[in-house]
Structure 1
Amino acid sequence: MSLFVVDKANTSLAWQEACRKLDVPGNPKRDALHTTVHIRNAVAEDPHVRAEFDQMRRERGYPLIETVANTIFPAELAAVSSTPEELVRRYRVMYPRLCRIDRGNATGTYFGRIVAYPGENGPVDQLTALINRIRRQAAGRGPMTAAYEMDIAHPDDPAASDLTDDDRDADAGTWSAPVHAAGKDNGLRGFPCLSHCSFQLDRNRVLHAVALYRSHYMVARAYGNYLGLGRLLAYLAKHAEVRPGTLMVIAGHAQIEGDIRALRPVLQDQARLAA
């Protein structure tokens, strides 16, 4: 299993290229370690790729891309919430029901962890705190570049209970060990600097993001995850009064799961796509 690096203009092209790098001769499991996908505008998509992939997902019983993206950032709810605080309040009210009605969300959602991280003294709202920090830093004369962390995983998280035997094998050796304590490690310098989502503010008031995944399923999750992260980045930038920049997604282990024959038509080169 070898690493690879992808750098593309939008989510559709980045996801396509990452899958192509996995679906090569000599890689029968279609997987790799330490993959890096860099997306210059993660909220942008190619509508043809999106439509073809969603159609394939419907035929194969996967949730739609929008459903996956909403687990990271609920775009429709955000659009009708006037402030980040209102978005947090409304999502927290909905959160228990979301976990009950969707088996896939039984242990929580990514956005749930962002707005209600399980701290020792109760739920921690990382979203509003991070927006406020970025805004304050951006308004100063010498803003910190890398002091904006957002935890998703929790050290006490149990192993997923809904994995198949094949999935468990694929996940072997990909555990994570978060060290940043949301709501506690608030110093602008020093330890720790490891997190699942890290944001960087450059000197031109542009906010960039790095997301770390221990494992990434390219069919079921990756496209929606890229899109959801891009929307989260754009939301943070908007409310912190800076500009959104690039997204980098690093996966400890990436894999194309399922029947590759169903996916290959979506991955075929098309003249209308620009690199």
Structure 2
Amino acid sequence: MRYKYVPSSGNLSIAWFKAFKHINKYGRTSPLIIRIKDIPKDISNLEDSSVRDIFDDFLNRKGQSSINTVANTIFPWSLWNPKKERKVLYKRHFRITPSIKSCNPNKFGHYFRRMIGFNTSYNDTKYSDDFINQIEHVIDTYRSGTHRHSALQIGIFDPDRDHSKSRQKGFPCLHQIAINSHGPNGKDGLGITGFYAKQLILKKAYGNYLGLCRLGYFLARELNMDFVQMNCVISEADINKSIFKKNDRDKLYKRINSLDIYNLHTI
């Protein structure tokens, strides 16, 4: 298997397309490392809408979750009101659990729930301050003056619940998130790194990168920093070929490549 490092400056769509191009050509890759630096201050400038619209249409025709649905499992952007205290976000998220479960059959939960309520059952619908809220820990720890990187981590994988001999489980592929402050007291901004055991480059990757970036924007705002870099380290990246046939993948590639945005054909 090949190793691949994918750098990109300020554009999530281009970073994902580079990764897709590589894996569509070479197949399974270990590891795959994505880095998006120089992230724009306005999240609306993070993506290229033409690329995203084409890919979302492709996913819809294949009966797969939209980019936004996948991203929301990491950070539910539409539930966050920056003008209100963070606890409002947490309460909203727990309150809509039945709706989340109705469109997500995964009985083990999902990523944001593990971040704000690691010790909770997926059946819980009411938030409590007694929950293990790792996001609050990171924010409170940093604000208290402790900036060591080993303290600024969010764990997803739970050995008690997730160690299994099941051949197919699907969750959690994301097992850890690390937050980094760059420069003295975060002067040069905040970076976020997600670590994946497995990532399917068409089914989940774009939404994964977007979810991590949304979480980065949220944390940076709460810590009074600029969000400047997203890294994603994937132990193994691949394509689910039973769903995404080569002919379909090649058509998708040609359609996006024909946009000639940022000279896509040269990457």
Instruction: Name the TM-score class by shorter chain.
Output: 0.7 to 0.9
For 2:191, the aligned partner's letter is H
Among candidates 168, 190, 193, match of residue 207 of structure 1 = 190
Give matches, 1:9-24, under 5 Å: 9=9, 10-24=11-25
Offset from partner CA, 1:186-218 (integer Å, 9 cap, x none): xxxxxxxxx710011111251101110000011
CA distance in 1, matches of 2:103, 2:200: 19
Q: Does 1:151 align with 2:155?
A: yes
CA distance in 2, matches of 1:64, 1:79: 22
* Residues 147 and 200, structure 1, Cα contact 8 Å, conserved in 2: no
CA distance in 2, matches of 1:37, 1:238: 23
Shift of 1:235: 0.1
* Residues 99 and 105, structure 1, Cα contact 8 Å, conserved in 2: no
Moved over 6 A (4+): none
Would you say how many aligned residue pairs link Structure 1 and Structure 2? 241
**Aligned twin of 1:76:** 78
Among candidates 57, 67, 70, match of residue 69 of structure 2 = 67
CA distance in 2, matches of 1:11, 1:160: 35
Give matches, 1:4-153, under 5 Å: 4-9=4-9, 10-24=11-25, 27=26, 30-40=27-37, 41=39, 43=43, 44-79=46-81, 82-95=84-97, 97-98=98-99, 100-118=101-119, 123-137=131-145, 143-144=147-148, 147-153=151-157
CA distance in 1, matches of 2:58, 2:215: 26
Percent same amino acid among aligned pairs? Answer: 24
Shift of 1:64: 0.9
CA 1:266–1:81 in 2, change beyond 3 Å: closer, same or farther?
A: farther
Q: Does 1:272 align with 2:261?
A: yes
- Cα root mean square deviation, aligned: 3.0
**Aligned twin of 1:196:** 176
Q: What is the TM-score normalised by the length of structure 1?
A: 0.78
Higher relative CO (CA 8 A, sep ≥ 6), structure 1 or 2? 1
**Aligned twin of 1:185:** none
Q: What is the TM-score normalised by the length of structure 2?
A: 0.80
Unmatched runs of 5 consecutive residues or more in structure 1: 179-194
